[in-house]
């Protein structure tokens, strides 16, 4: 989510797919072919519109997964509540949801 928010990656795995941790080595120094300074200077924060759109999409997906769990419905195959929760937490931190520090950011649904 953090790499997406600064434009380093443009596609995220589905909401039921774990990320490929090897992808981090392909884009992050010291493993990638870019230096730390090059990495920092190339990072471009996505627009507020894009960030808030992603936050809303994750909120909706998180609610869909929580609703399934709360109401003993089958979990939709395209959703993993753990993955969604982590992404929701990350995007809420990125957008400054509630002005809370990382450890206190909530994932209200």
What does the domain layout of the chain look like in residue ranges?
Answer: 2-104
Q: What is the CB-side half-sphere exposure of residue 30 using CA atoms within 13 A?
A: 0
pLDDT of residue 83 exceeding 90, the answer is: yes
Q: Write out pLDDT tens, residues 18-49.
A: 999 888 899 999 999 999 999 999 999 999 99
Q: What is the pTM of this model?
A: 0.91
pLDDT on residue 102: 84
**Residue 63 and residue 58: Cα distance in Å, rounded?**
8
pLDDT averaged over the chain?
95
**Residue 85 and residue 100: Cα distance in Å, rounded?**
17
**pLDDT, mean of residues 38-61:** 97
């Amino acid at each position: 989510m953090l790499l997406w928010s600064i434009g380093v990656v443009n596609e995220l795995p589905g909401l039921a797919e774990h990320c490929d941790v090897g992808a981090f080595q392909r884009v992050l120094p010291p493993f990638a072919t870019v230096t730390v300074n090059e990495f920092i200077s190339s990072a471009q924060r996505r627009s507020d519109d894009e960030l808030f759109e992603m936050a809303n999409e994750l909120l909706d997906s998180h609610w869909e997964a929580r609703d399934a769990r709360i109401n003993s419905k089958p979990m939709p195959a395209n959703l993993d509540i753990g993955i969604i929760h982590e992404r929701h937490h990350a995007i809420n931190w990125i957008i400054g949801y509630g002005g809370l520090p990382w450890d206190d950011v909530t994932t209200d649904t």
